[in-house]
Copies of this chain bind each other. A is one copy, B any other.
Amino acid sequence: MNFESDNASPVAPEVIEAIARENAGPASGYGADATTERFSRRLTELFEHEVAAFLVPTGTAANALALAHCTPPWGAIYCHAQAHINADECGAPEFFSNGAKLVPVPGEHGKLTPAAVAATLGDIRAADQHRVVPSVLSLTQSTEAGTVYRAAEVAALADLAHRHHLAAHMDGARFANAVAALDCAPADITWRAGIDVLAFGVTKVGAVGAEAILFFDAARAADFVYRRKRAGHLLSRMRFVAAQFEAVLADGLWLRLARHANAMAARLAAGIAAAPGAALLHPTEANEVFA
């Protein structure tokens, strides 16, 4: 057993099989192929909404490209102080956005509250050329602390964001674990709750490397292909990424894997909580345990 991270485990056998199957014949490169096309339709079905979807190989790329497309360089991105985009991506959002500012917001157990966001936003005066312009609010679902936002919590935050003309971004590197924990529809905690753009990753739940940026309003995605290409994230054999994603989504595999991971985390957490002298730092609501 390896408790290091969800990246350290082997991937789902179904993913390897899909990669092998995808290799049966030739197909056009750079996403102009049937598998990628089918994957896009599958997402629209899964989210019960038209989406403009773009595949990339890493979660850092998915977040940073999405954020850069939602902020001007003189914008500010509000996120939890421990958010992966702020603390663990070596400044990727700043690089991709040409220097937008990440503004850390405090919050217990990795979660933002409307009150905390509003308090931080309050420091920024409106229409002042000396200050960066609040542009994006970013949530992580499930969070870096292993907790989960309920649909109503997402909606309250997205609503606050929209009232201040910020886009609502969700870092969904562990989106599957949140959907499994909440037993909800993917739509419930994304566009129906006001999320504008989702970085939806299935690498952590069982793919080799498959992440998608989903814009729920296609107008927001204008010119995004150039941004992706210029960042070196347009894979020539894109269809192998689409095939992985498709395999993970097929027959609810992603949710079965996520439920299993959540259950194992819960069991581990219960064990730790019961151990003398040990304590959990955060409630275990998804698949991460912090002791």
Contact = CB atoms under 8 A, between A and B. Distances in A.
A8 interface: yes
A64 interface: yes
> Looking at chain A's contact residues, is the secondary structure mostly helix, strand, loop, or mixed?
loop
A181 interface: no
Interface residues of A, number: 71
Interface in A227-241: 227-237, 240
Contacts of A100: 91, 94
Contacts of A73: 91, 94-95, 98, 227, 230
Interface stretch (A108-116, A127-135, A188-196): A127-135
A129 B92 contact: no
A93 to B, nearest CB: 8
Q: Which of A10, A228, A231 has the most CB of B within 10 A?
A: A231
Interface in A5-40: 5, 7-11, 13, 16, 19-20, 23-30
A131 B229 CA distance: 9
A15 B102 CA distance: 40
A172 interface: no
Interface stretch (A52-60, A255-263, A273-281): A52-60
Contacts of A167: none
Interface stretch (A82-90, A158-166, A245-253): A82-90
Interface string A141-157: 00000000000000000
A60 B90 contact: no
Given A209-B236, A229-B90, A236-B203, A129 B10 contact: no
Q: Give the top 3 A-B pairs by smallest Cβ distance, nearest first.
A: A61-B232, A94-B99, A7-B29
Given A56-B232, A95-B230, A101-B102, 10 more contacts: A11-B23, A13-B23, A19-B19, A61-B231, A61-B232, A64-B232, A88-B130, A89-B229, A94-B94, A98-B98
